[in-house]
Structure formats: C-alpha cells, structure tokens
Amino acid sequence: MEDLVQCVPNFSEGRDRTTLEAIVAAARAVPEVWVVDWSGDPDHHRMVLTLVGPAAATRDAALAAAAEAVRRIDLTQHSGQNPRLGAVDVVPFVPLGATPMELCIRTAREFGARAAADLNLPVYFYEEAATRPERRNLALVRGAGFDSLRHVPLTAERAPDLGPSHVHPTAGAVAVGARGRLLAININLRSDDLDVARAIARAVRERDGGLRGVRALGLRLPSRGHVQVSINVTEPDRVPLYRVLELVRAEARRWDVPISGTELIGALRLSDLLETARYSLGLHDLREGQVLDNWFSERLNLE
C-alpha cells in the first residue's frame, strides 16, 4: 500500500470520559481505519488519538472525530497545561511504509478545507504542509493560543490559511500539518518539585543544548501529585528512545529524584524496540529479520 498514513489528532479535553469515548467512536465508525491508540490526560487536559489507514479514509475519520470534538468541547470553560489553539488543537498526518510525504501534505490540505467549510474553524497549515516558512514551526503557529486570539481579528500575520477571520467561539482554531514520525513520552518523577522537572527538560531538549530534535516541558500533575517531564523525540531514527531515557535518568540522579515510570503516548515502531534491545541487552547485531512475528500475519489481526 502506497497511501497508508498515520494521523495523530490532539483534542483539548482529557477529563470527560463521555467526550473522549464519543470522539473515539466517531473515528472508529469510519471503515478501513484502525484506532491504534487513544489516551486522555486529566492534567494535560488533552486527548491524543492515533489512527492508521488509507489517506482518504483516515482523513475522514479524523474529520468525524473533529466534528464530535467541536460539538462537545467548550474552550471558554477550559484550563489545561499545554498551550492550546483549539478544541481540535493539532492534526498531523504522517507517512507510513512507502507513502510519500506529498500525499500527507495533500491530505492535510483536504482536511483543512473541510474543517474550514464544515466546522467553521480557522485553519493554519504547519510543518511540511505550511504555506509560509514562518508557519513550519507549530509553536509559532500556536503562539499564545486561544485566549490571545479570542477577541482579535485574525488578520495580517495572524490570518489563517483557510476559514473565518475570527476564532470559533467555543472551539478556537486548528493547526493541520504533515510531518515525519515523532515519539511522545512522559517521564514521571517521584517528586512534586516543578523546578526539577523543568531543569531536566532544559537539560535534554535541543533548544537549551540537549539532544537533536528533542522538545521537552516540565509539568505539574495535580491529579497525581507529582511532576513530569513531557518529551517529544522528533528524529527517533537518529535519537533512540533509550538515549533520551538515559540522559533523563542521569539528570534525575543529579537532583536525587527517582523516576516512577514512563508513558508512551501513541505509537512507536518495531525499529525503536530493536534499538532498545540492542542497547539494553547488548544484542549489538540483532536484526529485524530475527523477530519471528515478522514472518507470519498473526500480528495483523489485532482488532
């Protein structure tokens, strides 16, 4: 298949189970699309949905989920940890297998056109789907987010690529993009010291001298009573997961703070697991072909 894509929409709701399940159900109802993973986080007040399927079907599943989110999420009632642009905050399309990035860019543009027309959302295209160089960077697109855009006209440098020149009253705007794969992990610290989480985040993220393509944020998790380092690895083939973990562990030791556990948000690749095993088991020459599951189709019948 040369049109297989992954779509990882993020929604600004992580608490109301009914809303989360309604969004998942809307995506699941679209044929040919697999819901690989979904999780809501009450502290991030965010839901991440991971879809895999043919580009067109996956686009439609993401649109169905987005429509449900716009219907149910009211950002004026909202307070979360992550900066957020809208109820449907960000919708990235990622190539799988032999799928070219161009198809993901085209699919992102189609999603944007429908989100503007059917959901009345201002649409900003980012990263590979960006229409202007300054919009490649999602952080810049998002800016100060919904609250800063609520009462101003979306004109000049704030003008959306598509849709109305004002944010949706309850659902804000949406960033739609095409990008390479990314790994999202949360590392939980057995500590309530936000300064430590922030110091570790600074130590590992590229911006402050850390690992290439790594973004990190220190957060407080009130519902769990501890702090967390939330990390995006944007070049996982260059920067293996184990190396990020070891660096975080080294910095955590500096502050004498134990790591209680790690969460993977969304999906990873078999290649990530192989590199982890090569490192942690010393299996330097382990080959993908040695994974028996690759040789029969049992693994494909997960649903």
- CB atoms < 10 A from the CB of 292, how many? 9
Task: Name the DSSP letter for residue 204.
Answer: H
CB of 119 to a copy of itself, least distance (A): 27
CB of 279 to a copy of itself, least distance (A): 8
Quick one: 106 or 249, whose CB is closer to a copy of itself?
249
3 state SS of 249: helix
CB of 285 to a copy of itself, least distance (A): 7
CB of 225 to a copy of itself, least distance (A): 18
Quick one: 183 or 199, whose CB is closer to a copy of itself?
183
> Which positions touch a copy of itself (CB under 8 A)?
1, 4, 6, 34, 36-37, 52, 96-98, 185, 187, 241-242, 245, 259, 261-264, 266-270, 272-274, 276-277, 279-300, 302
8 A C-beta contact, residue 123 and residue 172: no
- CB atoms < 10 A from the CB of 9, how many? 27
CB of 184 to a copy of itself, least distance (A): 11
Quick one: 93 or 146, whose CB is closer to a copy of itself?
93
For residue 95, what are the β-bridge partners?
5
3 state SS of 279: helix
Quick one: 113 or 291, whose CB is closer to a copy of itself?
291
- CB atoms < 10 A from the CB of 153, how many? 12
User: CA 221, 145, 64 angle in degrees (round to 5)?
Assistant: 85
What CA–CA distance (Å, rounded) separates 200 from 61? 37
First to last CA, the chain: 19
Quick one: 113 or 274, whose CB is closer to a copy of itself?
274
